[in-house]
Amino acid sequence: MRKFSAIAVAVFCLSSFAARAVSGEQLFDLLRKKMLTVKDYTAEVKMKINVSYMRIPTLAGTLYFKSPDKMKLERHGGLSIMLKKNINLTVSNMIPTGSVTVLDMGNVTIDGQNLRVLKIIPEDDQGQIILAKIWVDENSMLVARTETTTRNDGTIKMALQYGKYISYALPDKVTIDVDVKDFKLPKGVTMDYNEVRDETPKKETKNRKGTIQLNYISYQINTGIDDKVFSKK
C-alpha cells in the first residue's frame, strides 16, 4: 500500500513538473518570437463602436501595420468617430519589447478556456508601456487577452479571437474596452446624429464604458509596406 502511495505521489509530482516545464520567461519568449514572424500586414477591417447612449454605424476601413510599432487606419467614406487617445489596434504593440521581467501568475479558467497569466514589466523605464498582463493559451501558443498600462493612455484591455489566420497569431476579432469620454465626434456633428435620447446627467455620462469591436475580414501578410504609407495624412 505504501509502495502504491509513493508511486502515486511520484506520478503527481512528475505531472506537475511537466505542466510547468516551460517557465514564464520561456513562454513569453516563445510567444514573442512567434508574433515577430509577422513583419507587416494590410487588413480589411470592420469596426463597431458600442456605447450605450450612441448609435454608431459600423465603420469599414483598411488597417496597415509594420513591425515594430507603425500603424495606420484608413476609413472608407462616411463619418469618422475618432478616439482622443492614441489607442493602438494591434496586439503586437500591447506587449513590451526589449528586456523585461516576467512574473508567472499561474493558471485561470475563463469561459472554459485554461489560460496562463503572465505579468510583464519592461526594464527600460523610458518606454510607453509600464506594465502588461497577458493571458496565454499554451496549447495554441496564442494571446487570448491583454491588459496594458501605458504612460499616456491609461490601461487598455483587449480580448482576442482567432480563426483563419491562427498560424500567424493574427486574430479574426479584437474587442477593446474604452472610456466613452475618449470619443471625439467630427466637427459640425451633434449628438442628434446618434438618434438615441440620453437622460443621464453629463457628469455620469463621462464615466461610462464602451467597446470597440474590430473584425478582420482579410489579411495580406509580409508583403513589404513602404514607410511612406504611414506618413501620408
- In this predicted model, what pLDDT tens digit does every residue of 177-197 receive, in sequence order? 877 666 565 554 444 334 444
Neighbours of 109 (CB within 10 A): 8
> Can you give the pLDDT at residue 96?
79
What is the CB-side half-sphere exposure of residue 154 using CA atoms within 13 A?
10
Distance (Å, whole) CA 17 – CA 111: 26
Is domain 20-186+200-225 in CATH 2.50.20, yes or no? yes
> Can you give the pLDDT at residue 78?
65
Antiparallel, parallel or unpaired: β 154-161 and 113-122: unpaired
Closest CA to 129 of 145, 114, 115, 150: 150
Q: What are phi and psi of 219, to 5 degrees?
A: -125, 145
Instruction: Assess contact for 146 and 94: CB atoms under 8 A.
Output: yes
How many angstroms separate the Cα of 233 from the Cα of each of 72, 79, 100, 184, 230?
Answer: 10, 16, 34, 18, 8
Instruction: Assess contact for 122 and 96: CB atoms under 8 A.
Output: yes
Distance (Å, whole) CA 90 – CA 112: 25
H helices present in the chain, as ranges: 2-19, 24-35, 202-205, 228-231
More confident residue, 164 or 232: 164
Which segment of 96-100, 187-191, 205-209 scores lowest on mean pLDDT? Answer: 187-191
Q: Any idea where the domains of the chain sit in the sequence?
A: 20-186+200-225
Instruction: Assess contact for 73 and 44: CB atoms under 8 A.
Output: no
Which residue shows C-alpha cell 495554441?
140
Average pLDDT over residues 143-154: 86
Instruction: Assess contact for 73 and 13: CB atoms under 8 A.
Output: no
Band the pLDDT of 65: cuts 50, 70, 90: very high
Average pLDDT over residues 126-153: 88
Helix, strand and coil content of the chain, in percent to the nearest 5, comes to 20, 40, 35
pTM value is: 0.76
> Can you give the pLDDT at residue 80?
60
**Res. 221: pLDDT tops 80:** yes
Closest CA to 39 of 196, 168, 200, 135: 168
